Amino acid sequence: MKESEIKKYYNKKIKELKKHNKLYFDDSAPKITDNQYDQIKKEIFDLEKKYSFLKSTSSPSNSLGYTPSKNFIKSKHRVKMLSLSNAFGKDDLENFEKKIFNYLNQKIDIEYSVEPKIDGISASLTYKNGILILGTSRGDGTTGEVITENLRTINDIPHKITSNDFPRNIDIRGEVFIKKSDFTKLKNEFANPRNAASGSLRQKNPEQTKKIPLKFIAYTYGYFENKTIKKQSEFLSLLKKWGFKTSAHNKVLKTLNDLEYFHKKFEKIRYDLEYDVDGLVYKINNIDLQKRLGFTANSPRWAIAHKFSAHSAFSQIMDIGIQIGRTGALTPVARIKPVNIGGVVVSNATLHNEDEIIRKDIRVGDTVKIERAGDVIPHVIQVEFKKRDKNSKKFSFPKLCPSCSSKTIKEFNRLTKKYDAVRRCTNDGFECEKIAVEKMKHFISKEALNIDGLGKKVIEKFWDLKLIRFPQDIFRLNFLQISKLDGWGDISVSNLKYSINQSKKVSLDRFIYSLGIRHIGIENAKLLADYTKSISNFVNFVKTNKFNEFLNIDGIGETQINSLKKFFENKSNFKVIEELSQILNISDIKLNKNGKLLNNTFMFTGKLSNMSRAEAKSLIEKNSGSVVSSVNKKLKFLIIGEKPTIRKVEQAKELGIKILSQNEWLNLLD
Ligand code: IVH
């Protein structure tokens, strides 16, 4: 058969599978037996194995093939299910501890609970009076899918717990996974054990879940009524006592050296374990200390995942493409001959930036070593120069933007006195097609407007069909027109309409983040929202170009200010925010109005003991107070630490502002 014929046949099979997925998952009206269904899947799988050029995002080997999330009721987690930040080596670990010491403003000895990072699917189990009443998937971390019945089929999950000391109301969290030995039997259906576990767990019919032997290992909690435990290791022992399975490899260790030694040892035995692990998790053992350290936007400050080293393989670069990101960065990507690296077929590898290509002298046609670690994008680590063709030519990086032909530049960093390694398109607005599409993908993403049903692929399609050019166009879509498009039915259109409408209500910080301004991530968007309080204020700052005032915000510096200025100098960006502020219902920042420090303003001068400025500020804000950065009449209290700025103290005295020592201030809070 010719390649084109094979492709045609393969696509036909994929389409067939999709049809039966819909019949099974959405309509609950399968037209074929499970056996026949498995046959189609197997055929697709065999074709892919035989012909490496076959690829489809809907392939059952690529993903689960289908995401039946609309079939599950959603439930908001009482306590968010966060993820962990990653460490790949000593530097990252040292950096992790350094950040903790900075936050606490003191160096301390830390004890860690060390646990294997099982590569499965996390789940949360709510028990009330010892009875399992709800089971959910992680979902987007804030809201999960209700999969109670499916979770109940797992033998390791107790339905009822009678221990006297089991909390009356608690969420137990852990990992659902499938043993490697059980996966061998399912090899033809799923790409890896994790996908098998996920697919099984999200079956509509729990009877189907039962067919795949899932396991559960517990490791943490969400909501926990009357929590008295003091250590994570203590909690792990309790879990065991209550009847949950816990990892046999959990450990308590003290120094970074010990962590590294154990990591090295464990890396050697990881393949002997009965389940997949992709690293170790280190959690600060002391729960009070965990509480003090708190969280950043997505992950706790008190825990980190130390990944195992990557898998690698050799392949050949067929071409080098240039991707253009939301902020204009030109990222070169090597299109390589598909190669299996640690169980995943890789056909693209990032080359990071122009400097990386120059430094490693990477060329089209080169044989290269590619590395892939966990969920990180595969990258080229070295060129096999011996295998290089004599006629190969240096790669010439485009000097004009491949999308809009604007000039591209490498920015000069005044701090490091070096040129940036990344080349960027100078167009910051919607005039560059690729940037515009990326901006819109960012706008609809989970952490921004979170428009379910309007995924990245749909954005691209709607762009191609000229249905959208700016984010505000999303709210003016003609749904009748969409319902006539291929692949759209009444249900999907009404879901889309619903989720677009839902997204109109958005908090100010998410809205600022959704604009996709360079250097304004979630954390900085929160700082700007807290400072400006309402969208009308924010728009006013933009209109009057008063960005310099943001320098008052602890955490916002020149880099962010310059980026804001540049962003809003562009007329289309300005138009976007003006129009969106009319269309959307952007809620003001609501203050906690019950705290002890309400209506009180504070300022710090000098070094605080055993506490960083960031922690002190968050303590004040948690108690409804606010922190300002200059001495003026609005200031109520000046808190002085070690070596205060004399001028500030004198100014405060002149204005009759109360001066407090750190202890006096802490006494205000008990
Ligand atoms: S603790 C805030 N402990 O890793 C604490 N997670 O990237 C978050 N995981 O979604 C979870 N083993 O699916 C924790 N011993 C362990 C874990 C573990 C595996 C997974 C879990 C989570 C992801 C975090």
pLDDT of residue 64: 37
pLDDT digits (tens, 9 = 90+) for 348-384: 999 999 998 998 999 999 999 998 876 678 999 889 9
220 lines ligand 1 (CB under 6 A): yes
Give nearest CA residue, ligand 1 atom 3. 219
Q: Where does the chain hold its CATH 1.10.287.610 domain(s)?
A: 3-66
Q: Where does the chain hold its CATH 1.10.150.20 domain(s)?
A: 428-588
Angle at alpha carbon of residue 552, lines to 548 and 553, rounded to 5°? 110
Give nearest CA residue, ligand 1 atom 11. 83
Kindly give the number of the ligand 1 atom that is closest to the alpha carbon of 299. Answer: 2
pLDDT of residue 30: 61
List the one residue out of 638, 634, 635, 636 whose CA is nearest residue 647. Answer: 638
175 lines ligand 1 (CB under 6 A): yes
List the one residue out of 445, 418, 471 whose CA is nearest residue 584. Answer: 471
365 lines ligand 1 (CB under 6 A): no
Give nearest CA residue, ligand 1 atom 9. 117
pLDDT of residue 471: 97
The Cα-based distances of 91 to 101, 258, 277, 618 in angstroms read 15, 15, 22, 28
Element (H, E) at 35: helix 34-50
Quote the ligand 1 centre to 25 CA distance (angstroms): 29
117 lines ligand 1 (CB under 6 A): yes
Mutation choice for ligand 1 from 84, 236, 287, CB with most ligand atoms inside 8 A: 84
Quote the ligand 1 centre to 544 CA distance (angstroms): 45
pLDDT of residue 65: 36
List the one residue out of 206, 204, 207, 179 whose CA is nearest residue 193. Answer: 179
* The CATH homologous superfamily of the domain defined by 3-66: Helix hairpin bin (1.10.287.610)
118 lines ligand 1 (CB under 6 A): yes
84 lines ligand 1 (CB under 6 A): yes
Quote the ligand 1 centre to 114 CA distance (angstroms): 12
77 lines ligand 1 (CB under 6 A): no
Q: Where does the chain hold its CATH 3.30.470.30 domain(s)?
A: 74-307
Element (H, E) at 283: strand 277-284
CATH code, residues 428-588? 1.10.150.20
Quote the ligand 1 centre to 308 CA distance (angstroms): 15
Give nearest CA residue, ligand 1 atom 17. 117
462 lines ligand 1 (CB under 6 A): no
Element (H, E) at 136: strand 131-137
Quote the ligand 1 centre to 84 CA distance (angstroms): 7
Instruction: Verify whether residue 337 is a known catalytic residue.
Output: no
Quote the ligand 1 centre to 262 CA distance (angstroms): 19
Kindly give the number of the ligand 1 atom that is closest to the alpha carbon of 138. Answer: 10
Residue 580 half-sphere exposure toward CB, CA atoms < 13 A: 29
122 lines ligand 1 (CB under 6 A): yes
Mutation choice for ligand 1 from 83, 216, 308, CB with most ligand atoms inside 8 A: 83
Q: Are strands 251-253 and 86-87 parallel, antiparallel or unpaired?
A: unpaired
Give nearest CA residue, ligand 1 atom 6. 117
Quote the ligand 1 centre to 82 CA distance (angstroms): 8
The SS3 of residue 122 is strand
pLDDT of residue 629: 79
In the chain, which stretches have pLDDT less than 50? 62-69
Please give the CATH architecture assigned to the domain spanning 601-668: 3-Layer(aba) Sandwich (3.40)
Kindly give the number of the ligand 1 atom that is closest to the alpha carbon of 119. Answer: 19
Quote the ligand 1 centre to 213 CA distance (angstroms): 21
DSSP per-residue codes, 372-439: E-TTSPPEEEEE-GGG--TT--PPPPPSB-TTT--BEE--EETTTTEE-SS-EES--SSSSHHHHHHH
Kindly give the number of the ligand 1 atom that is closest to the alpha carbon of 115. Answer: 15
Residue 39 and residue 42: Cα distance in Å, rounded? 5
Mutation choice for ligand 1 from 80, 122, 275, CB with most ligand atoms inside 8 A: 122
Class of domain 311-427 (CATH, top level):
mainly beta
Quote the ligand 1 centre to 210 CA distance (angstroms): 24
Give nearest CA residue, ligand 1 atom 21. 122
Please give the CATH architecture assigned to the domain spanning 74-307: 2-Layer Sandwich (3.30)
222 lines ligand 1 (CB under 6 A): no
pTM score above 0.75: no
Residue 316 and residue 334: Cα distance in Å, rounded? 9
pLDDT of residue 38: 64
The SS3 of residue 28 is coil
pLDDT digits (tens, 9 = 90+) for 493-502: 998 999 999 9
Mutation choice for ligand 1 from 117, 246, 282, CB with most ligand atoms inside 8 A: 117
List the one residue out of 212, 199, 178, 180 whose CA is nearest residue 61. Answer: 199
Q: Where does the chain hold its CATH 3.40.50.10190 domain(s)?
A: 601-668
Residue 403 and residue 432: Cα distance in Å, rounded? 6
pLDDT of residue 306: 94
Residues belonging to the chain: 670
Kindly give the number of the ligand 1 atom that is closest to the alpha carbon of 117. Answer: 12
661 lines ligand 1 (CB under 6 A): no
Residue in 49, 50, 117, 457 annotated catalytic: 117
Mutation choice for ligand 1 from 85, 142, 171, 175, CB with most ligand atoms inside 8 A: 175
